[in-house]
């Protein structure tokens, strides 16, 4: 077959892999890499992680019979080859776009996606559940969990390993060890895995010795018996204190992870085992694309880039005008004046903007690994000892630590600050990564203050305010650029109150909003002006606690108060305010504009805001409809309010 002919086009499903020779399989791996690089260069995505598992995924699909056998991908950000081998090559161009293929496994997308993932460290639990369920229904199919050394820093993975060891079912756990998480992997575990890699020489030593001994004429058997004794001794030195073995797993490895034939051989043996097994595979994150190989950290997750030139670095002297950049500068400035300030993150040093803090204050910086629950309780401990910890965690990942926020921080009223990045809609990653639940989850928690800045100045002021507060504070801000500054942002914070961005006192309508929607609300106000519906604009700032007398007064003064928030409807700020208004028999009508109550699929933040009616046009339309109703024109529309 000519080199130019696509092998991928011949793969309609994993079964077709068996029609390819080894040489062709290697060529397929090259083809897949090209396609991943070119698609991610256009659509953005998780590049380096996917490039690292091409051969491993081919070998898995050669040996295991998906969809009867199940493969659960931890985090799921490395599933592109899996998608390409399971009948989705044609749609691959739509990766991560609205309505297109998801960047993570999705059961709704394919029978081959055994379980939805997106948050780390769930694969072993899910795979064990799938396997236990399979056995309870009398089936004999196999289940594989593929977990990275980064995801293995998450506590749930250990709970699952412990349970799996106890159950003894033939679960296959592939440990994809590339020595990297999003950044360099941290913690005792990564050191432990490196030591295991050293011990792995035992495995290859054993194979070579066995093969050699058996080939020896005449003395082979005698020699072999001696070798067995020697092996036991070697094993005692190299093998006994293996953590996985102690938990009840067989341990195989480490195995070089880019040789399809060798991987397939090992996996065939493993598939025949009747006990739980960990297969330790060493891969190279970013493999096959030079830029990503040299800098897998930067190429872990990328936006668009030129295949030939790689990613553009930040322009010389360019200022990062995102909310993350604003937080990064604010915490650094605060930490220079207050030695008590410490920063905590969970494997997201770069994403949360804490890299400059780490550089300047290495002793006051803690990356705890992918362990959000631990990060929160650890921060609580720091606070008890008089530190001022700031835990920077994405909104979606903070869902992992709800109990720790309640039980370890708020119950003791400890002055821990939570910097919740990516609150609201996020670009491209879909349901698993939207930051839409934090207001509803945390507004109910006593002692906690929740703040929502609209700009860089407000974010810095809120951080300073929180650093002097006696109890816990959460600052939620979106992924995206800060708006140009406005005089209102500089007004001092008053506990429980927002700030007026536009206040005529005569407008029939008040738009009261959470900070991340400032620009959309200002655009709506301008559209409403043109329609002769003047609206005052009130930036809520404090989502909790609220000066209820002040808010009640607003709901009495305006004919319509529109609460606009980038979060779910149920349990949101608007619902709270509506209940407050009804309790106090306020005269104004209340309208709540929110992200709704469904899981929100992938898209660009702008697209998602517009679908939810939270862009300038959408907000203006809902307000206009209400006004038309008041004028007796649109009563049918009113029912939709
Ligand atoms: C609970 C949770 N916290 C943080 C993340 C963000 N995250 C995505 S991938 C990743 C690193 C995963 O490292 P590893 O498992 O080693 O996979 P690799 O990318 O190195 O192949 C992190 C921290 C997440 N997905 N889930």
Best residue among 49, 57, 73, 120 to mutate for probing ligand 1, ranked by most atoms within 8 Å of CB = 120
**330 C-alpha to ligand 1 centroid (Å):** 26
pLDDT for 212 beyond 60: no
Ligand 1 pocket residue status of 75, Cβ below 6 Å: yes
Ligand 1 pocket residue status of 181, Cβ below 6 Å: yes
Q: Counting atoms of ligand 1 from 1, which one is nearest the CA of 118?
A: 25
Q: What are the tokens at 206?
A: 């054993």
d(CA 239, CA 429): 41
Establish whether 400 is a catalytic residue.
Answer: yes
Ligand 1 pocket residue status of 352, Cβ below 6 Å: no
| Residues 128-178 pLDDT 10s | 999 999 999 999 999 999 999 999 999 999 999 999 999 999 999 999 999
* Residue 560 pLDDT grade (very low, low, confident, very high; cuts 50, 70, 90): very high
Ligand 1 pocket residue status of 173, Cβ below 6 Å: no
What is the average per-residue pLDDT within 290-313?
A: 94
**109 C-alpha to ligand 1 centroid (Å):** 22
Q: Counting atoms of ligand 1 from 1, which one is nearest the CA of 120?
A: 26
Catalytically annotated residue among 31, 55, 134, 372:
372
Q: What is the pLDDT of residue 626?
A: 84
| Residues 47-88 pLDDT 10s | 999 999 999 999 999 999 999 999 999 999 999 999 999 999
**171 C-alpha to ligand 1 centroid (Å):** 22
Catalytically annotated residue among 88, 199, 231, 285:
285
What is the average per-residue pLDDT within 25-42?
A: 98
| Residues 222-279 pLDDT 10s | 544 554 454 444 444 444 468 999 999 999 989 999 999 999 999 999 999 999 999 9
Strands of the sheet containing 449-451, edge to edge, are: 365-367, 341-345, 388-394, 417-421, 473-476, 449-451, 542-544
Ligand 1 pocket residue status of 49, Cβ below 6 Å: yes
d(CA 23, CA 525): 64
Closest CA to 73 of 110, 102, 104: 104
Query: Among residues of the chain, what percentage have pLDDT more than 90?
Result: 85
**479 C-alpha to ligand 1 centroid (Å):** 18
Ligand 1 pocket residue status of 77, Cβ below 6 Å: yes
Q: What is the pLDDT of residue 196?
A: 65
**289 C-alpha to ligand 1 centroid (Å):** 20
**154 C-alpha to ligand 1 centroid (Å):** 9
Q: What is the pLDDT of residue 221?
A: 52
What dihedral angle (degrees, nearest 10) is formed by the CA atoms of 148, 153, 154, 157? 60
* Residue 313 pLDDT grade (very low, low, confident, very high; cuts 50, 70, 90): confident
What is the average per-residue pLDDT within 186-208?
A: 59
Q: What is the pLDDT of residue 238?
A: 43
Is this structure's pTM higher than 0.75? yes
* Alpha carbon 593 to chain centroid, angstroms: 26
* Residue 596 pLDDT grade (very low, low, confident, very high; cuts 50, 70, 90): very high
Say if residue 309 is exposed, middle or buried (CB neighbours under 10 Å; 0-12, 13-18, 19+). exposed
What is the average per-residue pLDDT within 533-548?
A: 97
Best residue among 74, 370, 400 to mutate for probing ligand 1, ranked by most atoms within 8 Å of CB = 370
Q: What is the pLDDT of residue 203?
A: 53
What is the average per-residue pLDDT within 16-30?
A: 97
Q: What is the pLDDT of residue 227?
A: 45
What is the average per-residue pLDDT within 563-583?
A: 98
Instruction: Name beta bridge partners: 544.
Output: 450
Ligand 1 pocket residue status of 368, Cβ below 6 Å: no
pLDDT for 496 beyond 50: yes
* Residue 575 pLDDT grade (very low, low, confident, very high; cuts 50, 70, 90): very high
What is the average per-residue pLDDT within 504-522?
A: 95
Closest CA to 277 of 141, 123, 161: 161
What is the average per-residue pLDDT within 351-368?
A: 98
**DSSP symbol at 481:** B
pLDDT: is 423 or 4 the higher one? 423
What is the average per-residue pLDDT within 306-319?
A: 86
Rounded (to 5) percent helix, strand, coil in the chain? 45, 15, 40
Q: What is the pLDDT of residue 215?
A: 53
Q: What is the pLDDT of residue 209?
A: 43
pLDDT: is 577 or 636 the higher one? 577
Backbone dihedral region for residue 184 (phi beyond 0: left; psi -120 to 50: alpha; all else: beta): beta
Q: What is the pLDDT of residue 110?
A: 98
pLDDT for 595 beyond 60: yes
What is the average per-residue pLDDT within 426-442?
A: 97
Q: What is the pLDDT of residue 638?
A: 44
Instruction: Name beta bridge partners: 435.
Output: 424
Ligand 1 pocket residue status of 36, Cβ below 6 Å: no
d(CA 285, CA 432): 23
Q: What are the tokens at 333?
A: 């400035």
Q: Is 424 helix (H, G, I), strand (E, B) or coil?
A: strand
* Residue 198 pLDDT grade (very low, low, confident, very high; cuts 50, 70, 90): low
Q: What is the pLDDT of residue 322?
A: 97
Q: Counting atoms of ligand 1 from 1, which one is nearest the CA of 178?
A: 20
| Residues 411-424 pLDDT 10s | 999 999 999 999 99
Instruction: Name beta bridge partners: 173.
Output: 145, 278
Q: Counting atoms of ligand 1 from 1, which one is nearest the CA of 347?
A: 23
Ligand 1 pocket residue status of 78, Cβ below 6 Å: yes
Ligand 1 pocket residue status of 180, Cβ below 6 Å: yes
Q: How many residues does the chain have?
A: 641
Q: What is the pLDDT of residue 181?
A: 67
* Residue 603 pLDDT grade (very low, low, confident, very high; cuts 50, 70, 90): very high
Best residue among 126, 347, 373 to mutate for probing ligand 1, ranked by most atoms within 8 Å of CB = 347
Atom 4 (ligand 1) nearest CA: 370
Query: Among residues of the chain, what percentage have pLDDT more than 70?
Result: 89
Q: Counting atoms of ligand 1 from 1, which one is nearest the CA of 52?
A: 21
Catalytically annotated residue among 96, 142, 364, 400:
400
Ligand 1 pocket residue status of 436, Cβ below 6 Å: no
What is the average per-residue pLDDT within 534-556?
A: 97
Q: What is the pLDDT of residue 403?
A: 98
Establish whether 24 is a catalytic residue.
Answer: no
Establish whether 232 is a catalytic residue.
Answer: no
pLDDT: is 231 or 458 the higher one? 458
d(CA 222, CA 224): 5
């Amino acid at each position: 077959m000519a080199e130019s002919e696509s092998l991928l086009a011949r793969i309609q499903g994993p079964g077709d892999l068996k029609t390819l020779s080894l040489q062709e399989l290697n060529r397929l791996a090259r083809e897949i890499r090209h396609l991943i690089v070119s698609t991610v260069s256009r659509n953005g995505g998780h590049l380096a992680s996917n490039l690292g598992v091409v051969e491993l995924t081919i070998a898995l699909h050669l040996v295991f019979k998906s969809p009867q056998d199940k493969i659960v991908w931890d985090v799921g950000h490395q599933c592109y080859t899996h998608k390409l081998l399971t009948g989705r090559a044609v749609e691959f161009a739509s990766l991560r776009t609205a309505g297109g293929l998801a960047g993570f496994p999705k059961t709704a997308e394919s029978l081959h996606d055994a379980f939805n993932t997106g948050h780390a460290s769930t694969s072993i639990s899910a795979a064990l559940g799938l396997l236990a369920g399979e056995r309870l229904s009398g089936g004999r199919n196999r289940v594989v969990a593929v977990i990275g050394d980064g995801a293995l820093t998450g506590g749930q993975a250990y709970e699952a390993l412990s349970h799996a060891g106890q159950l003894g079912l033939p679960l296959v756990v592939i440990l994809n060890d590339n020595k990297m998480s999003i950044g360099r992997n941290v913690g005792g575990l990564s050191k432990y895995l490196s030591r295991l890699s050293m011990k792995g020489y035992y495995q290859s030593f054993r194979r070579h010795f066995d093969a050699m001994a058996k080939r020896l004429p005449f003395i082979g058997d005698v020699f072999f018996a001696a070798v067995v004794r020697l092996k036991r001794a070697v094993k005692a030195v190299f093998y006994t204190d293996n953590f996985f073995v102690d938990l009840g797993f067989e341990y195989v490895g480490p195995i070089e992870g880019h040789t399809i034939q060798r991987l397939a051989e090992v996996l065939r043996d493993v598939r025949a085992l009747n006990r739980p097994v960990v297969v330790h595979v060493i891969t190279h994150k970013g493999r096959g694309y030079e830029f990503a190989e040299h800098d897998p950290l930067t190429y872990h997750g990328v936006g668009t880039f030129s295949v030939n030139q790689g990613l553009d670095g930040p322009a010389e002297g360019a200022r990062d005008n995102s909310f993350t950049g604003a937080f990064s500068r604010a915490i650094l400035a605060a930490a220079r004046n207050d030695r008590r300030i410490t920063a905590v993150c969970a494997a997201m040093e770069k994403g949360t903007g804490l890299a400059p803090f780490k550089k300047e204050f290495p002793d006051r910086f803690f990356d705890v690994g992918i362990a959000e629950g631990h990060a929160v309780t650890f921060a609580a401990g720091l606070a008890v000892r008089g530190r001022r910890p700031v835990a920077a965690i994405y909104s979606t990942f903070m869902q992992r630590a709800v109990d720790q926020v309640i039980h370890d921080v708020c119950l003791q009223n400890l002055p821990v600050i939570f910097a919740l990045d990516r609150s609201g809609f996020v670009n491209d990653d879909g349901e698993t990564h939207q930051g839409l639940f934090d207001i509803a989850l945390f507004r109910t928690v006593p002692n906690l203050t929740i703040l929502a800045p609209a700009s860089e100045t407000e974010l810095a002021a809120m951080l300073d305010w929180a650093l002097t507060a006696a109890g816990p504070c959460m600052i939620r801000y979106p992924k995206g650029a800060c708006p140009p500054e406005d005089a209102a942002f500089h007004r001092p914070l008053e506990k429980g109150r927002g700030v007026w961005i536009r206040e005529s006192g005569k407008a029939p309508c008040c738009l009261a909003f959470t900070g991340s929607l400032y620009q959309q609300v200002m655009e709506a106000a301008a559209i409403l002006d043109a329609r002769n519906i003047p609206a005052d604009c009130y930036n809520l700032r404090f989502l909790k606690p609220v000066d209820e007398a002040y808010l009640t007064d607003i709901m009495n003064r305006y004919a319509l108060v529109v609460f606009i928030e980038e979060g779910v409807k149920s349990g949101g700020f608007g619902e709270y305010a509506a209940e407050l208004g009804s309790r106090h028999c306020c005269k104004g009508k209340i309208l709540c504009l929110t992200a709704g109550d469904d899981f929100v699929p992938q898209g660009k933040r702008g697209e998602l805001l517009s679908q939810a009616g939270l862009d300038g046009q959408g907000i203006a339309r809902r307000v206009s409809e209400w006004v038309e109703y008041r004028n007796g024109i649109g009563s049918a529309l009113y029912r939709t309010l």
